[in-house]
Structure 1
Amino acid sequence: MQPIEPTFAGPEAQAGIGVVCPFDMALDRELWRWMPSDVSLFFTRTPFFDEPVSLEMAEDVSDDADILAAVKNLSAVRPAVMAYACTSGSFVNGLSGARHISKVMAAAADAHGVSTSEALLEALEYLGVSRVVVITPYVADLTVRLGDFLEEAGHSVAAQAGLGLDGGIWQVPYQATCDLIRGADVPEADVVFISCTNLPTYDIIAPLERELGKPVLSANQVTAWASLRRLGKAAVGPGQCLLA
């Protein structure tokens, strides 16, 4: 009897999301946690700037030419979606600035485009919530600018609090973020938003939602969710209100 030749199905077809993020992004793995098995992420970074996290840095990492160069770097693998994974870089120039980034990426890559700040607004609309507790790791003026962005988009800031950090944001422990949220939350707020794609949040979202009795959104969560929506796919995040 002749041995049966093995057959190898696959590899599984993959949909691609190109991710343009700032040079100091350290949480690639966190974004992967929201991905279903048939979606691949392709990361690239904007150029290095030797400066602290600030309004000036947010403006630098949202430069059109740098974003276009990053998109070009990803074009060979033809992602169906281009995501600009940076909250401050997409809200620093207001609502028009956030939309401009996604339009630039979409045109350059012939793909869907979305920025983190646009994804936040989509998530707020999807959940039907508008009174936001703004939580950031940022210095004060950057936290205030996020509040201005939300108010420009028609939402209200019920409370806000920041950690005052100008670097090392990816190293913030979950406990510090949770304590900041508990101290800032107010009854009239109907949602909490945790800003910065470099701040770890995946494991605290669902427990905080159960504790506070309201949705808790994070920058990486909404970026993943909005990108996957454009592919007709669901994000993986057990117990997270946005993904229910």
Structure 2
Amino acid sequence: MTGVGFLYPGYSAEDDYPVFERKLGGGVRLHVVHTLMREDAHRVDALLDVGGSDVLGEGARELRDLGVDAAVWACTSGSFVFGPDGARAQAEAVGREAGAPASSTSFAFVNALRALGIDRVAVAASYPDDVAERFVEFLGAAGIGVAAWSGRGIATAAEVGTLPGEDVLDWVAAGDAPGAEAVLVPDTALHSAAVLDALEDRLGKTVLTANQVSVWEGLRLAGAAAPRDGLGTLFRAGTPVSAPPRR
């Protein structure tokens, strides 16, 4: 049994992970450890606190006790706000405390795009614009072009977690752009496990969501990401990542 651990801030769409586990079809256990969120706010200062070393260190030690094979900091905004170097140091610290290879959702997006050979995207972000811009900058630093991006301006993760599936389909479709090979939806507070194939059917192209790439990244680090159906193009493709892992 392969065990992958996720450090998940607060409570919003953590119930996506049992759905992913069921859809993966056995042989994998996804462990979710909730980390402290002192303030639920899509605001840079609050996000820097959410991803602080004290908070993640405590959660990572819980993952060590669970004996996980890989660990993922499952918070896009709580990683990319630190910039590429800060996010890399953050993931490395999680790995040391967890005693396992580690990454974060921000790097999971980058590695997923590399695995699929995609280098130009659109971004449909739930965040306010100033936070969404930081994600666009993070992608740019990794050599990924952004054809268009939009921020929905939602102030809290709790509100994002209440968005219904039909609303998500319409909103993500509106965020698509000509020339984009894929649409990225960067918020682990958004429920997406049940709508991945519907999103791709609607747009006619690859859609990558935060919880989806987080699970894929954890399985990749654990050496257990064989191709699987029902979870979008990314999972059907498996893990042919040519670039070194981002940790």
In the alignment, what sits opposite 1:8? none
Structure 1 pair 182–77 and aligned structure 2 pair: CA distance change class (3 A): closer
Shift of 1:120: 0.5
In the alignment, what sits opposite 1:18? 5
Code of the aligned partner of 2:63: L
Q: Which one of the candidate residues 209, 215, 218 is aligned to 1:227? A: 218
In the alignment, what sits opposite 1:34? 20
| Structure 2 CA distance for aligned equivalents of residues 75 and 208 of structure 1 | 35
Structure 1 pair 161–177 and aligned structure 2 pair: CA distance change class (3 A): farther
Alignment of 1:134-153 (within 5 A): 134-153=123-142
TM-score by length of 2: 0.87
4+ long deviations beyond 4 Å: none
Unaligned runs of 5+ in 2: 237-247
In the alignment, what sits opposite 1:218? 209
| Structure 2 CA distance for aligned equivalents of residues 232 and 86 of structure 1 | 22
- Render the CA deviation track for 1:160-212: whole Å, top value 9, x for unaligned: 12221112110011222222222221121111001110101123221222232
In the alignment, what sits opposite 2:107? 118
Give the greater-gyration-radius structure (CA): 1
Code of the aligned partner of 1:215: T
| Structure 2 CA distance for aligned equivalents of residues 200 and 32 of structure 1 | 12
Unaligned runs of 5+ in 1: 1-13
CA RMSD of aligned residues (A): 1.7
Alignment of 1:64-83 (within 5 A): 64-83=53-72
Is structure 2 residue 46 aligned with structure 1 residue 57? yes
Code of the aligned partner of 1:19: F
Is structure 2 residue 167 aligned with structure 1 residue 180? no
**SS where residue 28 of structure 1 aligns?**
coil
Code of the aligned partner of 1:140: D
Is structure 2 residue 191 aligned with structure 1 residue 197? no
Aligned length: 230
Code of the aligned partner of 1:18: G
Are the counterparts in 1 of residues 140 and 146 from structure 2 also a CA contact under 8 Å?
Answer: yes
| Structure 2 CA distance for aligned equivalents of residues 222 and 200 of structure 1 | 13
Are the counterparts in 2 of residues 137 and 162 from structure 1 also a CA contact under 8 Å?
Answer: yes
Report % sequence identity.
Answer: 31
| Structure 2 CA distance for aligned equivalents of residues 195 and 84 of structure 1 | 13
Shift of 1:237: 4.8
With 148-157 and 72-81 compared, the bigger mean Cα shift is at 72-81
